[in-house]
Structure 1
Amino acid sequence: MKILVIEDEPALAGSILSYFKGEGNVCEHAADFNSATGKIELYTYDCILLDLGLPGGDGLQLLSRIKEMNKKDGVLIISARHSLDDRLSGLDMGADDYLVKPFHLSELKSRVSAIVRRKNFDGGNIIIFNEVKIDVAAMKVTINEKPIVLTKKEFDLLVYFLSNKNKVVTKNAMVEHLWGDQIDLSDDFDFIYTHVKNLKKKFAEAGARDYLRSVYGIGYKFSDR
């Protein structure tokens, strides 16, 4: 998953980032209203963790901006505001969930995972695409009921393709999703070709159809059409 943590309290932000990065996710951080606005306008995330009380502005203004832009990013409000009115305001404005501080990181992870499943896969842990079956929670992939072994990046790439199946995905979008801010560390995207080539090879060895096609000069498309 690609997650944006919008939180101005350093200790809490650090704990959240360490926890989710330790699970293999791509995480970015914004500590104030302006930097959060810049990231939201530039990038796309599976889930945005949104604190309401931020230096420079209110989190609900950011939520409103997300909806104005018609972005599909999941939004989980994390706030010390615990009144019913605050919760209803956030949910009515389009947040997917609302979690009151303090909270256990394990519960936060469960809430985030549920939002991503609802957004991308109709709420389920299992993705089935013809002979391909993916258990998202267990990170297991089978083809024709036989397991195949993928690296973490290959698995994330496959899930990303399936969540965007029948669409052309640009190389830039793939790198942003899988590496986040680290996209700026590379001048070219040759490593994306390597991951795609390895994924195609493992699919072929397992007897799967060739669903992954290159779109010259743009990126890739995962489709059975």
Structure 2
Amino acid sequence: MKILLVEDEIEMKDSILQYLEMEKYLVEYASDFNLAMQKIHLYEYDCILIDIMIPHGTGLDLIQEIKKIRPKTGIIIISAKNSLDDKIDGLNLGADDYLPKPFYLPELNARIKALMRRNNYEGTSSIVFNEIEIIPEERKVLIHNTLVNLTTKEYDLLEYFLVNKDRVIQKNALVEHLWGDNADQFDNFDFIYNHVKNLRKKLLELQCNDYIKSIYGIGYSFKTIL
């Protein structure tokens, strides 16, 4: 899962980043309005955590922009400015949740997971498609009720494919989702082939149908009709 944290308080930023990365999230960071605007125009995120009071703008203005260009992106406001008006304004603009500072990091994690269940998993605690079951909170994958031993990137790939079934996903979108800002360091994205190949091999070994299809010159698609 790919998260953008928009927060200008260094200590708060560091603690959130460290905790969420320990929980296996891919987290990027923006310290002000302008940098956050650049990132939301360049990249897609599953969830964006936004402080209302940020340099060069406000979190409320940022929410408006996100909803224009990325309407399906989940948004959680994290702010010490705990007035009822700000909470109502943020939710009316399209934010999904509001968590006032100070808060416990496990509560933030629980809010993120609840948001992802609503947005991506239809409110359930697992993703089930035919013989495949993914349990996101445990990062487990079962094929015909048998546990699959996947690497971190292989798990993230499969989850991303299942959330985006039947869509053609370009290689650069896969790399950005799995590596975040580090995607810009790669000269080409050919290496993604090896990750997909290894994932397919492990699934096929457990008699899983071959849903992952290569789209020549573009990327991949997880086909629900074979």
Aligned position for 1:140: 140
Deviations 1:103-141, CA, capped at 9 Å, x for gaps: 011101111111112111112121111111111111111
Aligned position for 1:39: 39
The SS at the match of 1:190 is: coil
Cα offset for 1:38? 0.5
CA distance in 2, matches of 1:22, 1:135: 18
Cα offset for 1:190? 2.2
Aligned position for 1:125: 125
CA distance in 2, matches of 1:89, 1:218: 41
Aligned position for 2:25: 25
Confirm or deny that 1:48 pairs with 2:48. yes
CA distance in 2, matches of 1:24, 1:94: 26
CA distance in 2, matches of 1:10, 1:146: 43
Cα offset for 1:70? 4.3
CA distance in 2, matches of 1:65, 1:133: 35
The AA in structure 2 aligned to 1:88 is I
The AA in structure 1 aligned to 2:140 is K
Aligned position for 1:57: 57
TM norm structure 2: 0.97
CA distance in 2, matches of 1:77, 1:52: 7
Cα offset for 1:42? 0.9
Unmatched tracts of structure 2, length 5 or more: none
Cα offset for 1:90? 0.7
CA distance in 2, matches of 1:131, 1:178: 24
Aligned position for 1:196: 196
CA distance in 2, matches of 1:119, 1:11: 30
Cα offset for 1:71? 2.9
Deviations 1:37-66, CA, capped at 9 Å, x for gaps: 100111110100000101101110000111
Deviations 1:26-47, CA, capped at 9 Å, x for gaps: 1110001100110011111010
The SS at the match of 1:76 is: strand
- Written as runs of structure 1 = structure 2, the 5 A alignment for 1:1-225 is 1-225=1-225
Cα offset for 1:173? 0.5
Mean CA deviation greater in 133-142 or 54-63: 133-142
Mean CA deviation greater in 168-177 or 131-140: 131-140
Alignment: residue pair count = 225
The AA in structure 2 aligned to 1:60 is L
Identity rate of aligned residues, in percent?
53
Unmatched tracts of structure 1, length 5 or more: none
TM norm structure 1: 0.98
